[in-house]
Amino acid sequence: MATERTLSILKPDTIEKNKAGEALAIIEATGLRPVAARMVHLTRKQAEGFYYVHRERKFFGELVDFMTRGPVLVLVLEGDNAIARYREVMGATDPAKAAEGTIRKRLGANVGENACHGSDAPETAKFEIGYFFPGFEVG
């Protein structure tokens, strides 16, 4: 299996609830390892740039409002099959549909305020890691 890196964001709702440690404990229990971290309060421009693929979606404004409402914890996670594994650990985008034990089931409120973000493919991971950690090696 290939060692991969993926980008994780613990979103403003998780930080507001003081649950970053709980989310990190779930992540670490799976064997995924943080190899870079940054706490940042995104500007609208940064959030819009990060989520530009969603710019035509009707929830885009709401997503940017939410992601800029407070600081986030941005992490690069490393491990075998990290991208797919972290998506499993996060659970479905809508916390109501997320499996037991996942971060979104434990900490998410709804499809907008869903506790965390993770890259969905190798190309996205490359873009997203570079967005927050310029020059950082992706794979």
- Contacting residue, 46, 81, 93, 124, with ligand CMP by CB under 6 A: 93
- Contacting residue, 46, 71, 111, 124, with ligand CMP by CB under 6 A: 111
> Taking CB under 6 A as the rule, does residue 59 contact ligand CMP?
yes
- Contacting residue, 81, 112, 124, 126, with ligand CMP by CB under 6 A: 112
Task: Encode burial over 28-52: b for 16+ CB neighbours within 10 A, e otherwise.
Answer: eeeebeeebeeeeebeeebbbebbe
Complex with ligand CMP: residue 71 or 112, whichever CB lies closer:
112
CA of 118: how far to CAs of 27, 32, in Å?
A: 12, 13
Annotated catalytic residues are 117
SS3 category, 78: strand
SS3 category, 73: strand
Complex with ligand CMP: residue 102 or 114, whichever CB lies closer:
114
94 contacts 111 by C-beta, under 8 angstroms? yes
> Taking CB under 6 A as the rule, does residue 63 contact ligand CMP?
yes
Complex with ligand CMP: residue 131 or 137, whichever CB lies closer:
131
**What is the DSSP secondary structure assignment for residue 116, as one 8-state letter?**
E
Complex with ligand CMP: residue 116 or 138, whichever CB lies closer:
116
- Tell me how crowded residue 58 is: count the other CB atoms within 10 A of its CB: 7
- Contacting residue, 24, 117, 125, 132, with ligand CMP by CB under 6 A: 117
Residues near ligand CMP, by CB under 6 A: 54, 59, 62-63, 93, 111-112, 114, 117
